[in-house]
Amino acid sequence: MTDPATTTGPSALAVRSLTKRYGDAAALAPLDLDIAHGERITLIGHNGSGKTTLIRMLAGMLEPSAGSISIWGHHSGSIDARAAVSYLSDQPVFYDDLSVWEHLEYVSRLHHTEDWEQRAVDLLDVVGLVDRADDLPATFSRGLRQKAAIALAFVRPFELLLVDEPFVGLDRVGRLALLDLFESAHRDGATLLVATHELSVVHVSERLIALSGGELIYDGPPADADVNALSAGIGIDDD
């Protein structure tokens, strides 16, 4: 991860009039958002509120119907943006024919990671997969696959971590390990955007963003928000 002091200038993430439509249905209404370097943000909202759509568009997996995304001044999906962004999906994807260790090797090398072996060993230790390093993740249970995906997301350098429903299928040890990794990445200066239904983790973030029906209904400190109401899609104006 980069030193926060070395990254100055444009916002970590700048979103302008970002829209996603599927036919007549709007998954995300025009959205404007600025995220500063090093911020730790939680994104909440009910099912279908647009969280995953937003995260996937920021990661470059989905194309916006309109609007723009800038990551440290680079267009989303560009090589520079891809080098900066690590995406931890709610649906881990692996090659059927590569072991966990081989996945870690290739992802690290594709991202020019120095000393990746030691980092990989440390991560496998943290998520509890040291003994399964040579197994095929495609044969793992849901929780183990999620742990392998966590190791893959953290083994490479990144400046912006995009996370979608990271706690699904994780046991208590895995949850604590993941929270520690978030904390560590944040300390190292990375920007974190975590979409979740897990409201108990909201308090550790500095900023809360809530979506409902594809629209932004809250953007501010978690302490000022009625998290339960926001999660159900009830904004402040609705009260």
Shortest distance in whole angstroms from residue 105 CB to another protein: 8
- For position 168 contacting another protein by CB under 8 A, the verdict is no
93 interacts with another protein by CB under 8 A:
yes
Site residues for another protein, 44-73, by CB under 8 A, read 59-63
**Of 6-14, 33-41, 105-113, 189-197: span binding another protein (CB under 8 A):** 105-113
How buried is residue 228: exposed, middle or buried, by Cβ count under 10 Å (0-12/13-18/19+)? exposed
Give whichever of 83 and 232 is closer to another protein, judged by the CB atom.
Answer: 83
CA 89 to chain centre: 7
| Nearer Cβ to another protein (157/235) | 157
Told to check if 26 binds another protein by CB under 8 A, we report no
The two structure tokens encoding residue 204: 């550790």
Closest separation between CB of residue 99 and another protein, Å? 10
In angstroms, the CA 210 to CA 46 distance is: 9
Which string of DSSP letters, residue by residue, matches 150-186? Answer: HHHHHHS--SEEEEESTTTT--HHHHHHHHHHHHHHH
Smallest gap, in angstroms, from Cβ of residue 74 to another protein? 11
Is residue 97 within the footprint of another protein (CB under 8 A)?
Answer: yes
CA 193 to CA 186: how far, in whole Å?
Answer: 11
- Residue among 87 and 218 whose Cβ is closer to another protein: 87
Nearer to another protein, 102 or 135 (CB): 102
C-alpha distances in angstroms, 16 versus 25, 81, 205?
A: 20, 16, 23
Q: Taking the CA atoms of the chain, what radius of gyration do you get in angstroms?
A: 18
19 is a site residue for another protein (CB under 8 A): no
Q: From CA 136, how far away is CA 92, in angstroms rounded?
A: 13
Question: 233 in the Ramachandran plot: left (φ > 0), alpha (ψ -120 to 50) or beta?
Answer: left
Span from 81-89, 126-134, 168-176, 202-210 in contact with another protein (CB under 8 A): 81-89
In the chain, the amino acid numbered 163 is V
Q: Of 97 and 131, which CB lies nearer to another protein in the complex structure?
A: 97
Contact 193, 55 (CB under 8 A): yes
For position 83 contacting another protein by CB under 8 A, the verdict is yes
Question: Which residues are near another protein by CB under 8 A?
Answer: 59-63, 77, 79-80, 82-83, 85, 87, 89, 93-95, 97-98, 102-103, 106-107, 109-112, 152
